[in-house]
Structure 1
Amino acid sequence: MTDEDLLALAATLAERAAHAINAIRAAGFAVERKSDESPVTEADRVAEALIVEGLRAATPDIPVVAEEEVSAGLITKLAHRYWLVDPLDGTREFAAGRDSFAVNIGLVQGDRAHLGAVAVPASMEIFGGIVPQGLAWKRDAAGQRAIRARRIPEKGATVLASRHYSDDPRLDRFLDGRKVAEVQKIGSAVKFCRLAEGAGDLYPRFGRTMEWDTAAPQAVLEAAGGRVVSFEDAPLRYGKPDFENGAFLALGAA
């Protein structure tokens, strides 16, 4: 399968998972707690089963690492290429009745995000990107079109902050002295997608994330001309112990 084929597969499965999540949201659901006290719902499990089954059927030679499987102790052996799946990124947002949650399906090659698809179920937006090709797009009710990250406007940067960590004093210290037009509080991988389509400029992340949180949206953003780096300007890489990311900056075209 070509990169285009793999991205089309990821986008199709992300869209199907988004419809399944919306159906569960409409019907009502319970919120449970995993061993690390993070929330989980029926939507997480149903979406993951749909995605994992589809990926393994279509690409049996590419391992799949999925959040809920890892939480249950099922960790697939990695290879040069592997899928990273977060079936419902932003479960806190979903459980609280907000709309900033996403479906992430990313393909890692070596130790870098190679391509990915992100679905935003509440608005049924689908984002896709292939990093080496510099190709990123968005699909919604108006159709599919190319997207590009922007340079910071003269009025200053639009900063996208994680809602869960928006009161972190490190954010104020980081922004001190920078020209900031506004700070928007948004949950989940939606922040990367807004940067990729030129609706924001900077997303500093200080708190803990996992590799399945970032692989797909990083691919979308970097394919759109943005960057995801550590605070020391090193690329965000994959295959780390326990799949944990350190602090990072997601940037537009600046």
Structure 2
Amino acid sequence: MSTDFTDARLLDALGTLASTAGAAIMAHYGGASSIKSDGSPVTAADHAAEQVILAGLAGLLPEVPVLAEEAAAAGRWPASTRMLVAVDPLDGTREFISQNGEFTVNIGLIADGRPVAGVVFAPALSRLWLGAGSKAEAMELPPGAPISAATRRRTIRTRPLPAGGPVALVSRSHPDAATSAYYAGRGIGEQRPVGSSLKYTLIAEGEADVSARFASITEWDIAAAHAVLAAAGGEMTQPDGAPLVYGRAERQFRTDHFIACSGAYAAAGRR
């Protein structure tokens, strides 16, 4: 298939691949977990979903290096960073373990240091988001179904700021004092806890306005949702507005701190 990362046919194929991985995840829902060397949890679902995605990418984008969470945990890092596919097969493993539904499959396409297209799938919620260029879409899709079976497929955009103040989405499993301090000075009307990259797709869809993170995270956690949010008219930048740079092998693909927000939140100078 074309290596044009903004090709709609490629995005749709990746959407079907994410749905297939979602079915592999749900086959293990409620299963046991273990702890990796970095202290984070891992389940059979993480490995099963990554195997599905890597096999699919080998057919769709055979020449593009892949940065995948479980492969990286085993010491397998991509050799090239100009073009990458960033894969988090199960973002929100803690949410998966607690069975609250707030976990996602993430496939992000990175070119020259920025995410240019992304697919995010929430299998327990049967919701899929795609984004590339200036077009972002949301739809309903059961795990394992091809994207041709999607219903309520629609273009999405970030929303104007609500009269009662911005709605902030905070990490359900990783709260931190710096983020709380940031929200305290910005007229936030409401804070809602949400797990995984779901936070950024909800901003893209106009259900919230901002989500900050003042701790490093790995590129595979946010690349896909960053692309969706940007395509929907939002932003994900460092707190001072500088761009996030991807493909940073020298940092083992760790990101800077960032603010994800709607276009209206950024335009109002709330950052």
TMscore range, shorter length:
over 0.9
* Aligned match of 2:222: 214
Change (3 A) 1:68 1:182: same
CA contact (8 A) 1:102 1:189 kept: yes
Displacement of 1:239: 1.2
Q: Secondary structure at the match of 1:60?
A: coil
* Aligned match of 2:145: none
* Aligned match of 1:108: 110
* Aligned match of 1:33: 35
Displacement of 1:59: 1.4
Displacement of 1:165: 2.8
Q: Secondary structure at the match of 1:164?
A: coil
Structure 1 stretch displaced more, 152-161 or 141-150: 141-150
CA contact (8 A) 1:18 1:124 kept: no
* Aligned match of 2:73: 71
1:180 aligns with 2:182: no
* Aligned match of 2:96: 94
2:18 to 4, 14, 19: 14
- Partner AA of 2:254 in structure 1: E
CA contact (8 A) 1:164 1:187 kept: yes
Q: Secondary structure at the match of 2:207?
A: coil
Displacement of 1:79: 4.2
* Aligned match of 1:139: 139
- Partner AA of 2:74 in structure 1: A
Taking the aligned partners of 1:172 and 1:51, their CA distance within structure 2 comes to 35
Alignment RMSD (CA, Å): 1.2
- Cα displacement string for residues 27-49 of structure 1 (whole angstroms, at most 9, x for unaligned residues): x4110111101000000000000
Taking the aligned partners of 1:21 and 1:14, their CA distance within structure 2 comes to 10
- Cα displacement string for residues 153-193 of structure 1 (whole angstroms, at most 9, x for unaligned residues): 12100000011233x22233212232222100011000001
Displacement of 1:229: 0.4
Taking the aligned partners of 2:58 and 2:112, their CA distance within structure 1 comes to 19
Displacement of 1:6: 2.2
* Aligned match of 1:248: 258
- Partner AA of 2:58 in structure 1: R
Please give the TM-score of this superposition, normalised by the length of structure 2: 0.89
CA contact (8 A) 2:34 2:42 kept: yes
Taking the aligned partners of 1:172 and 1:39, their CA distance within structure 2 comes to 25
1:237 to 245, 250, 257: 245
* Aligned match of 1:23: 27
Q: How does 1:53-64 map to 2 (within 5 A)?
A: 53-64=55-66
Q: Secondary structure at the match of 1:24?
A: coil
Taking the aligned partners of 2:185 and 2:253, their CA distance within structure 1 comes to 33
* Aligned match of 2:146: none
CA contact (8 A) 2:82 2:247 kept: no
- Cα displacement string for residues 185-236 of structure 1 (whole angstroms, at most 9, x for unaligned residues): 0110000010000000000111231000010000000000000000111111
Q: Secondary structure at the match of 2:102?
A: coil
Taking the aligned partners of 2:109 and 2:85, their CA distance within structure 1 comes to 5
Q: Secondary structure at the match of 1:29?
A: coil
Segments of structure 2 that go 5 or more residues without pairing to the other structure are: 142-150, 265-271
Q: Which runs of 4+ in 1 moved over 2 A?
A: none
Taking the aligned partners of 2:152 and 2:23, their CA distance within structure 1 comes to 17
CA contact (8 A) 2:110 2:246 kept: yes
- Cα displacement string for residues 121-174 of structure 1 (whole angstroms, at most 9, x for unaligned residues): 1111000000x3x000001054210000112112100000011233x2223321
CA contact (8 A) 2:84 2:247 kept: no
Segments of structure 1 that go 5 or more residues without pairing to the other structure are: none
- Partner AA of 1:190 in structure 2: L
- Partner AA of 2:140 in structure 1: D
| Percent of aligned pairs sharing the same letter | 40
* Aligned match of 2:147: none
